[in-house]
Structure 1
Amino acid sequence: MTVDLPATGTRTVPTPSRAAADVTRRSDRSRRRRRRSGPIVAVALTVVCLLMIAPFAWAAFSSVKPTDVAFANPPVFSFAPTFQPYVDLWQTTDFYLYLINTILVAVISTIVALLIGLPCAYALSRYGGVSSLVLLILALVFRALPRFAVVLPMYDISRSLGIYDTTYALAGALIVINQPFTIWLLRNFFTEIPLELDEAAMVDGCTRFGVLRRIMIPLMGPGILTAGIFVFLFAFQEYLTAAVLTDTTSKTVPVFIATQLGQNLPLLQQASAATVLLTLPVIGIALIAQKYLVAGLASGAVKG
C-alpha cells in the first residue's frame, strides 16, 4: 500500500501483517542472543563470586585447621577440623568486649544518623533551589574526602574534650562520616513521594513536622530500613576511624584483628576466627534483608 505525498513523493507504509512479522523476527533474534550469551554470563558471574568468596573461605578454613598445618606451604586440604582457635579467642582475649563495643558503636551511629538524616533529607527533597543544591554538593564532597583528612581533626577534638577512647567518640565520628550518605539516600526516597500528600496533610492542619512524622515516615519503611542497614554495616566494619580514635577500652573487632596480624601462628588463627565471627552477622543481615535492600535501592534510584 502506498501513500502519495505532495512534496516528498511516495512512502511505503508496511501492512499490519508485515509489521507483526518484523516484530516477531526481532523478538526471535533477541531471544537467540540471550540464549547464546546466558552461559557466558553465568560462567563470568560464577568466577567473580568465587574470587570474592576466596579470601573469606581461606580465613574460615585456617580457623578450623590444626595449628601445625594452618599456614603450611603448600596448603594442606586434608585435616581433622578443630574449634580450639575459637575457644582460645574467647578464653584468652577480650574478644567479647571488642564485639560489644563494635555492636554498640554501630547501633548508636545508626539510630542517631537516621534521626538526623530523616528531617534533613525531607527538607532537601521539598525545598528546591540553589541552597539545597549547594548543601547536597557539600555533603557529597565531604563524603569523598580522604578519610585521614576527617579522622585526624576528630582525634585532636576527642583528645581536647577528654573523650578519646570511648565508644561515644567513635560513634559520633562515624555519624559525621556516614551522614552525607544517609541524607543522599533518604532524599531519593522522599522525592518518590508526591508533593500532593504534603499539601493535603497541611490543608487538614498538619505542620511540616507533623507531615514528616505522621505521613512520610510510615511511607518510608523500605527507605529507612535500607539506609539503616547500610549505615550499620559501614559502622560495624569500620577500621581506620576506630584505629585512630580508640586505644584499649573501646577497641573494636576490626582493630583487634589488625593487632593479631604478624604475630605467632596461634594468634593468627585467632585472627582468622575473629574474621569469621565478624563476617557471619554481615552475611546474616544481608540474607535476611536482601529483598528489602533490593526493593529500597530500586525505589530510591528512580529519582536523584
Structure 2
Amino acid sequence: MSTLTGATESAGEAVPLADDVLQPRPRRRRAGGEGAAGRRFMVGGLLLLVCWAMLSPVLWTAMVVTKPTSIAFINPPQFTYHPSLDAFVNLWQTTDFYSYLSNTVVVAVVSTLFALLLGVPAAYALSRFPSWISVVLLVAALVFRALPRFAVVLPMYDISRSLGIYDTKIAVVAALVAINQPFSIWLLRNFFAEIPQQLDEAAMLDGCSRVQVLWRVMVPLMGPGILTAGIFMFLFAFQEYLTALILTDVHSPTVPVFIATQLGQTLPLLQQAGAASMLLTLPVIAFAFIAQRYLVAGLSAGSVKG
C-alpha cells in the first residue's frame, strides 16, 4: 500500500479512497433555475387571465339564461339564485327556433360538402402543377377572402334576386361556398404539398389516371386534412351572420339572424336570445375541440419516414 501511495504521489496524482468514491456528490444548481420558474409562473398566470377574459362572456350568458327573468338583468348582478331552464323551454315553445336551427344545420352541412368537393381537386391541381398561373390563382383567392364582406355579399344579393333564389337556402349555400372556398383551397393545398409526388408517379405507372390517383390514392391519405378543412368550413358556415342576413328574409333565416332580431326587445325575449346563443355556442365549442385534435393529425399526415 505504501509503495502504491508513493508511486501515485511521485506521479503527481491523487488516488481517491473507497469512501470518497461511494459518497454521492452534491448536485449543482442550474444557473437561472429560480428565474425560469418565475417566468413560467408569470406566463401561466397571463394565460389564465387571457382564458378568463375569453370565456367570461360565455359564462356570463350561461348565468343570465339560467336565472329567473325577474333577476336576470338587475344591476348590480345577483350571483346567488336557483338555476332554471325556463328560458330554453320558452325558446322552443313560443318561437320557431327549430326551423332556424334546421336552416342553420342544413346550410352549414351542404355548404361544407360542396366546398370540399370543389376544393379538393382544385387544391390537388395547384399543389401538383406549380406555375405562374397557380401563383396568380392563389393570390386572387387570398385577395377575394380578404375583401370586406359587404363588397362580396351585396352583388350576391342582386344575383340571387335576378335568379329568383332570394330567401332560399340555395342562395345562402352558394354564397358561403364562394366566400369560404379560398380558405379551403389554401388549407388543402398545404396538406397535399406534404405528400411526396413519388406516390403519384408510382400510381400512374400502375395504370391510374390523374383522377384515379386523386380519389384512390390522395384522398385516403388526406383523410385528416380533409376532415380538418371540413370542420373549419362547417364552423364558418354555422355561425355566419351577415351573409344570411342579406340573402334571407322570412323563409330561410338562420340562428344568428334570429338572435339579432331578439335584441332590443322585452326582457323575456332578450333572455331567449341568450338561450339561443348558448345553443349556438355549445356545438361550436365541441367542434373546436375536435378541430384541434384533427388539426394536429392533419399536419402530420402524408409525411414519409425513412
TM-score by length of 1: 0.87
Partners of 1:33 and 1:183 lie apart in 2 by 45
C-alpha change, 1:87 and 1:207, in structure 2 (3 Å) is same
1:245 matched to 2:251: no
Tell me the SS of whatever aligns to 1:73: coil
Q: Contact (CA 8 Å) 1:89, 1:273: kept in 2 or not?
A: yes
Task: Give me the whole-angstrom Cα distance separating, in 2, the residues matched to 1:216 and 1:31.
Answer: 48
Structure 1 equivalent of residue 157 of structure 2: 155
Over the residues paired in the alignment, what is the CA RMSD in angstroms? Answer: 1.7
In structure 2, give the amino acid aligned to 1:52.
Answer: M
Instruction: Within 5 Å, give how 1:272-287 maps onto structure 2.
Output: 272-287=274-289
Using a 3 Å threshold, how does the CA distance of structure 1 residues 29 and 148 change in structure 2: closer, same or farther? farther
In the alignment, which of 91, 97, 100 is matched to residue 98 of structure 1? 100
Q: Distance in 1 between matches of 2:30 and 2:140?
A: 49
Q: 1:282: Cα distance to partner? A: 1.2
Consecutive unaligned residues in structure 2, runs of 5 or more? 1-27
Q: Which stretches in structure 1 are left out of the alignment for 5+ residues?
A: 1-24
The whole-number CA distance in structure 1 between the counterparts of 2:277 and 2:152 is: 27
3-state DSSP of counterpart to 1:251? coil
Pair 186,272 (structure 1): closer, same or farther in 2 beyond 3 Å: same
2:216 to 208, 214, 218: 214
Residue number in structure 1 paired with 2:112: 110
Q: Quick one: percent identity of the two aligned structures?
A: 65
Counterpart contact for 1:167–1:250, Cα < 8 Å: yes
Corresponding residue SS for 1:128: coil
Quote the offset at 1:82 in angstroms.
1.3
Give the deviation of 1:32 after TM superposition: 5.7
Kindly indicate whether the alpha-carbon contact (under 8 Å) linking 1:226 and 1:297 is maintained by their aligned counterparts in 2.
no
Aligned residues: 275
Whichever residue aligns with residue 193 of structure 2, its letter is: T
**Other-structure match for 2:235:** 233
TM superposition shift of 1:291 = 1.5
Map of 1:8 onto structure 2: none
Distance 1:219 1:299 in 2: 7
- Relative distance call for 1:150 and 1:203 in structure 2 (3 A) is same
Matched position secondary structure for 1:257: helix
CA distance in 1, matches of 2:300, 2:246: 36
Residue from 67, 70, 80 that aligns with 2:69: 67
Provide Cα deviations, 1:170-192, integer angstroms capped at 9, x if missing partner.
01100000000000000000000
CA-to-aligned-CA distance 1:10-41 (integer Å, 9 cap, x gap): xxxxxxxxxxxxxxx9x945766543311111
Task: Confirm or deny: 8 A CA contact 1:110 1:232 kept in the other structure.
Answer: yes
